Every structure is written in structure tokens, then in C-alpha cells.
Amino acid sequence: MIKNLINPFPFFWKKIDKISAKSSSEKIFSTLWAIFFGILISFIFIRSFGYNPLKVYNTMFFKIAFAKNEIRNLLLVTSIFVFASIAIAISFKAGLFNIGVPGQMMISGVIALIIYLNLTSINIYIRLFLGFFLGILTSGVLGFLVGILKSFLRINEVISTILINWIVYYITKFLLTSTSFEIGFKSNSPLTSQSISDAAFLSVFPTRSFSIIILFLGLLFAFLIWIVMQKTTVGLRIKIVGQNKNAATYAGINNKTMTISTMTLSGIISGIAGFIWYIFYKRSFTLANGMPREGFDAILVALLAFNSPLGIIPTSFFYSTLTIGASRLQNHSILLNQETMQIVIGIIIYLSAISVIFINFKPIRWTLNFWFLLRSKRFFDTKTQKLAFLKLEKSNFSNLNLIGIKKIKKEKIETLNYEITNLEKKKNEYLAVFLNEKINVFKLYLNIQKINIKLYFLKKQSLKIKNADNVLLWKKIKLNIKNNFGIDSNFKNKNLHEKLAFFESIAQKKRLANQELNSSGYYDLRNNFNAFKQQFIEQHLQFRALKVKIINDFRTKKNLKSDKIKEKK
């Protein structure tokens, strides 16, 4: 109903519905176009502050993000976004929304830090392994809990994950502020843990080489997840559950099991991201800025990549470059504050997140096709016939008359019908030439659609005049249907046969009433609109088919000419 109100043409909605079936290359190009337009708009925004956008972006990318001393951070942040975004994407594939990634990252990092900072007598690698294992295990348990709540208690995963986020937050705050519970985690700074500062750790892990290894593992993990999602029955099951739970049930897939396992897997992957974030990147924990924003930003990265594990890799790198570059601009004599740069990043990411609107944006193809149409001398050419043939006669009725703002007098019904007849003849003439491609196809198409629209409004006004005397009759019939076709008070006391007979009599009365309404012209306006809509769509599809045919014919002729030239040479 809403679709019909917004746009009465079903082919428009069919195009929107086909977006999900687009190829990967089309999705990639749509994302690139979205990023391009986002950067273009951000150029204008930065320029409004009096700065050179090229200088700002050059500083962000080459002097900050790609600087030698920042490469390590860039690679680590990219790795974190890869893992966190994959966690989001997997849940999206299953029709779930794991907004609990920040909390799962936090709990994993906190547990890993507690283990590392307390078990100082154990080998550093064993401490890291224990912290990693217990951290991702705990985050997986949180995901498992969300899956249980969703599957058995039907609690929406968004609500449960948000609440779990805050539970994790306040547990961590208790560990950092409690004076009665000391586990060797707090530091002298408020809401901040101790930092990892032992020489054995600093000599190995905060290096560019180790960051490259972490990034390589992230890329390998993304590739493995892609294989699982695309080439295995597990991935197929996840996608089927996400697309249609009823179909999954009929296919023999246990929805509850898939929901629990997907949320658990998502939680484990979030835990990996949290481990890298707090152990290798931050090397400490602080609640000063709340939950890790990177967990929320991963949602944007996943959406930007259309939830593709392979697409997440470049989008993670792009977003990491933006965030790192924007964070230190003030150190390079560019006085754009952090809030302003967040707006700039927001513009780019917002355009990128709605990249689906660019899925059919193909300017190069459009330009080539337009050039072919110009050269073909059939689409826009007017030399083969006189332009007078394409001109429509002036109507006896103004636009105000046609749309009903200014009423047409009843005495002019004959003039109205005469004009309708003439327009239909003209339309048939145009269609004959249009389908034979003997004249300016584009101009003919516009005229045919103008006639369709004009005929619709003329017929509408004609039907209103014709059926003006039947309005009271329609009201009477509809009132009769409303008052007399209901269920009476004795209906409950009737047996089954009497109830069936009662409903049959009502159905018969409604059929007779509808026949009476139809014969008196009640449905004429609706039928007129449906006929107009059908003709409009039909002519539009014919126009598109002719356009494609003209382009293909021109290409064929061009190829034949080039082949002949080659043969002569």
C-alpha cells in the first residue's frame, strides 16, 4: 500500500528489489562512487573553514597515517577493524544484529590484561595465550547468552546486547574503582588500569614487523570466513536462516541452534578484536572514554563492505586511515578540531554507508550509450520526418481543468469526448511510427507518454461528469453494505450449517452490491487509473527495448566497418 502511494510504477520497486542480487563488481563500484562523493562533499565542507582540502587530505594520509612512526598503529587498527567488522557481518548474515561487540571487546581485553598483569611469574607467551584464550572464551559466552535469550525467550538481541554492554562496563568500573577488591589491575590514575611496560613485551610486540603479522592473520582469517560463508554448508545455513527463517525450518535447519552458534562465533571474533586492541595497541585499559568506539564503528565498516569478509579488508584500511589521520591534524598546523574532523569523517562514512543508491550509477556506460544514440541518427534524428508531425494540437482544456482544480462544465462533455477520441487516434499514429523506428524515437516516446497522461486526466474528468448523478446511489449502496451485512446478536447460537448459510448469503449480497456499483460506474475511475498505469509501463518498456536495440545495431555496424577497414589493410 505504501509503495503504491509513493510510486505507482512497479518497475521502480522491482529495480530496488534486485539490488541484493547485484554482482560483487557492481557493489564494489557503488562503494567507490559513494566514497568519491563523500570526499567531494567533505572537500566543500573543509573549504568552508578556509583550509585547502587537498592539503588537509595530504596531511591526513601521507604525513600522519602513512608516516613511518604511524604505520604500526595503522596496521594494528586495520586488523582490529577486520576482526570486529567480521563479527558484525556474520551476525548480519544470520539476520541478527550484534551491537554488543564493544562490550565483548571490553571483557576480552580486561580479562587478558588482568591475567597478564597478575601472573608475572609465568612465561610471557603463556600469559598471552591464557589471556587470549580466556578473553575470547568469555566474549563467546556473552554471545552464547545473547543467542539463548533470543532463541528460547525471544528477547531481541539488540536489547540484550546493549544491556550486556552496560553490565560489562560497570563490572569493569567496579574493578577499577573498588577499594575492597584488589586484583592488581588498578593504577594511580582514575578509571585506568596498569599498563604493560615490561621489557620482554616491549621488545617484541610493539613493532612494525609484529603488526604486519597481526594484519596478515586478520587477512587470512577474513579469507577463511569468506570460504566458510561461500563454499560450505555452514555458511549456506547461516545465510538461509538470515534470509528466511521459515524456509530454513522447512529445509531442516534448526533456527535456534544456528542463532546460538552464530552469536557465539560473533562474540569470539569480537573477543579477538578486543584482545588486539587492549593488549597490543593500547597496552592498558581506561574507562575515561567509555566503551571502545571501534566496536560501534565496525558496524559502519561491515555495512560499507556489504557484509563481505573480503570487502571488509579494504574498507577497514580506509576507515583506519581516516581515523588515525584525523586524530593528529592539529599537530601539523591545521587547526581543525577533533569534532570538526569527526563531521568530515561522518560525511564520508554516511555517503559510503548508503552506497546502495549508487548501485546503478554507471556514468561511463551512460556516456558511451548516449554517444551511440547520438551517432545512430535514429534516436534523436528529426530529418526523416517533418517536425509538424510530432507537434501535439492545443487542448481545449487548461491544466487546471484536467487536474480538477477548475471544474469542467457538464455541457462540454461532447468536446471532452471528442478530444479523447482525437488523442487516441494521434497516439495510435505515433505508436505505429514509434515501433517501426522511422522517426525520432525519443521525441515520439515523450509525446506518447504526454498523451497517456493527458488521456488519463481527460477520461477522469469525463467519468466524473458522466457518473455525477450516481454519487448518491453509491453512498446508499455502501451504507447498506455497512449496516446490513454484519453479524447479528444471535450468530453465536446458530449451528455450523446455519453459520455457513449466513456467510453464503452475505457473500451473495456483496456480489450483487458490487455488480450494482460496477454497473453504475463506481469502479470506472479505478479502472481508468489501472489502464493508464499499464499503458505507461508498457510504452516505457518498449522505449527501453528500442533504445537497447538501436545501441546494439550501431555497435554492430561500427564493428563491421572496423573489420572491413582491417581487411583492406
pLDDT means per 10 residues, the chain with 569 residues, are 41 43 68 84 85 84 82 91 94 91 92 88 89 94 94 92 92 79 68 78 79 93 94 91 88 91 95 92 81 87 87 90 80 70 80 75 81 77 54 64 62 77 84 72 83 86 83 83 69 78 82 85 88 90 85 79 71
Taking CA atoms, 27 is separated from 86, 92, 366, 397, in Å, by 18, 17, 18, 49
**What CATH architecture is 45-361?**
Orthogonal Bundle (1.10)
Instruction: Compute φ and ψ for 251, nearest 5 degrees.
Output: -80, 0
Distance CA 127, CA 130 (A): 5
Distance CA 391, CA 444 (A): 10
Let me know the angle formed at the C-alpha of 235 by 269 and 270, rounded to the nearest 5 degrees.
Answer: 10
Q: How far is CA 336 from the centre of its chain?
A: 31
Distance CA 256, CA 491 (A): 43
- What residues form DSSP beta bridges with 192? 286
Distance CA 484, CA 6 (A): 35
Q: Which contacts qualify for 46-51: CB closer than 8 Å, 24 or more apart?
A: 46/336, 46/344, 49/336, 49/340, 51/334, 51/336
pLDDT of 488 = 65
**What's the predicted TM-score (pTM) here?**
0.70
Could you tell me the residue ranges of all domains in the chain? Answer: 45-361, 365-400, 446-568
Instruction: Compute φ and ψ for 143, nearest 5 degrees.
Output: -65, -40
CA atoms within 13 A on the CB side of 554: 18
Residue 75 contacts residue 138 (beta carbons within 8 Å): no
